[in-house]
Amino acid sequence: MTKFKWTEENKKQYSNEYAQMKWISDDEIRKASEERDALLLWLKEAGVSFGYDETKLDCRRLAPGCRCCGDGQWSCLFINGMCNARCFYCPTTQHELGQPTTNTVQFSTPEDYIEYIERFQFKGIGLSGGEPLLSPERTLNFLSEIKMNFADSLHVWLYTNGTKVTPSILKQLKDAGLDEMRFDLVAIDYDLEKINLAAQYIPVITVEIPAVPDDYELMKIKLREMKEAGVQYLNLHQLRCTPHNCSELMKRGYTFLHGPRVTVLESELTALKLIKYSIEERIDLPINYCSFIYKNRYQGIAAQKRYAEVIKKNFEDITCYGMIRTLSVTGNPDDLNQLAETFKENGCDAERWDYDSTGNRFYFAKEFASFVDSGKFSLHIGYHLSYMKPAVSFMNVFKEIRLKSGKKIVIERQPACPEFVLHGKEAVEAFKTLFLEPGESHFSHEEEESLKKNINNIDEIWEYERIVPGLMDYY
């Protein structure tokens, strides 16, 4: 989606508040971009590792759970929806116990959730909330059952604000097999007492907090204190604005950025400056800036790919974004029959091509695109999203997965956009060259731009086919 479209979406989302929010100006865009570019250049020259298409840094030493996330092999189970902290940046209300939930699907028993883990072969589980320790029996029940089934083959971590951490609960968590504990230190005014205590019981201690601009000077002091208290990893997130926390963020005078979710400019710059400071001061505490674009892109891609594998058809492919791509041509039956004969003669796997029920459309996988005469056929390209739902909506194509316990999970697919149709040999061949050739295709900028000129709607198609590296543009 273009910058203009996201801006319009943000205007709709925030409605009356939009005009009162401090949006970044053109002059601020220039100054902030220059400041960020200078920070990123300094960090690269200092040896910082930029991973996941340069959306996450420093990637030299990531917490074990973060590696599971980056690999697309983790599931976050929200144990409850209650929290006893009232953090100004919390994106949602936290007042209901609810049922343990992941991706909108409830798992009332550990047994059901364990089958879900097995079905999708997760390597890491995050137990979150709310505050999981407000329902300790439920948390311990899920944790102990999960670890009993998977032992060390599954890394399990717990998110907490620390207010309910005691020697007793820590011992129970340790005995149940908890691998990692993640503290929201901002929620307890950066008090390290509970972290000091937890480090005596839990193997890995991580602090995971938003980068709060107001607390930059305090954080510079706390970095060394965290290391001394037993913190092994520090994860910094970018503050995100939601209709729930918008008024609180506005009170602090933050500058807002447009995008798929509204974010805070000063938060990103604070995170980058803290990484720079830690290197300059030689503070041996790994800091990971988990940018919004990383979370939005890579966590979304992982889910898309996971569910796309379930519901895609044999002749369809999955793009780098996790979209299901459908390639097809239309024409008169004689031409399509001749195309089918060509596929057979070349030994193309019959599972990877097909006709539709009318016989007027021919579907094929990307590896067979070279057998399609670009001068004879127009190319149709469809993209679909896939996702998990608690029940069938009856609005989209779906597939039910029944777990051993009898619980059903629904995977649905829906069009991400209207179908694209490319007419003419130059357009079709340009698409094949850019997106369908095997392996990594490397073009000079001039070659790429020349190919792109042959394709109408190339900017829209590009969004589904290619990942643009780097942090989000400011606008």
101: three-class secondary structure by DSSP: strand
| 99, 107 contact by CB (below 8 A) | yes
348 and 295: one domain?
no
17 and 39: one domain?
yes
Residue 241 lies in a domain: yes
| 159 phi and psi angles, rounded to 5 deg | -95, 135
378 and 322: one domain?
yes
Q: Last residue of a domain, which of 238, 272, 303?
A: 303
| 227, 202 contact by CB (below 8 A) | no
Helix locations, 125-245, DSSP H: 136-150, 167-176, 193-198, 216-229
**Whole-angstrom Cα distance, residue 115 to residue 405?**
8
Return the structure tokens found at 357. 């029920």
**Whole-angstrom Cα distance, residue 255 to residue 427?**
42
The residue segments making up the domain with residue 399 are 313-465
Q: Give me the number of domains the chain comprises.
A: 2
Give which of 174, 130, 137, 181 is closest to 158, Cα–Cα: 181
Residue 470 lies in a domain: no
331 and 422: one domain?
yes
Cis peptide before 382 (omega within 30 of 0): no
The residue type found at 34 is: E
Residue 308 lies in a domain: no
63: three-class secondary structure by DSSP: coil
Supply the DSSP string of 305-333, one letter for each residue. HHHHHHH--TT-EE-TTSPEEEEEEE--H
99 and 199: one domain?
yes
411 and 283: one domain?
no
Residue 473 lies in a domain: no
274 and 227: one domain?
yes
Strand order in the sheet with 262-264: 240-241, 262-264, 256-257
């820590």: which residue's tokens? 170
95 and 219: one domain?
yes
User: Residue 372, Cα to own-chain centre: how many angstroms?
Assistant: 35
387: three-class secondary structure by DSSP: strand
CATH at residue 225: 3.20.20.70
Return the structure tokens found at 131. 């505050």
| 213, 254 contact by CB (below 8 A) | yes
Q: Last residue of a domain, which of 244, 277, 303?
A: 303
Q: pLDDT truncated to tens, each residue of the chain (475 aa)? A: 678 889 999 999 998 899 999 999 999 999 999 999 999 999 999 999 999 999 999 999 999 999 999 999 999 999 999 999 999 999 999 899 999 999 999 999 999 999 999 999 999 999 999 999 999 999 999 999 999 999 999 999 999 999 999 999 999 999 999 999 999 999 999 999 999 999 999 999 999 999 999 999 999 999 999 999 999 999 999 999 999 999 999 999 999 999 999 999 999 999 999 999 999 999 999 999 999 999 999 999 999 999 999 999 999 999 999 999 999 999 888 999 999 999 999 999 999 999 987 888 999 999 999 999 998 999 999 999 999 999 999 999 999 999 888 899 999 999 999 999 999 999 999 999 999 987 656 778 888 999 999 999 999 999 899 998 999 999 9
262 and 334: one domain?
no
Residue 87 lies in a domain: yes
420 and 349: one domain?
yes
380 and 289: one domain?
no
**Whole-angstrom Cα distance, residue 157 to residue 70?**
15
Give which of 367, 319, 366, 365 is closest to 466, Cα–Cα: 319
Residue 289 lies in a domain: yes
129 and 224: one domain?
yes
Q: Last residue of a domain, which of 303, 321, 344?
A: 303
Give which of 44, 67, 101, 55 is closest to 263, Cα–Cα: 55
Give which of 196, 139, 209, 198 is closest to 165, Cα–Cα: 198
Return the structure tokens found at 155. 């890394």
Residue 475 lies in a domain: no
**Whole-angstrom Cα distance, residue 345 to residue 278?**
63
| 181, 202 contact by CB (below 8 A) | yes
| 210, 270 contact by CB (below 8 A) | no
Global confidence as pTM: 0.92
Residue 73 lies in a domain: yes
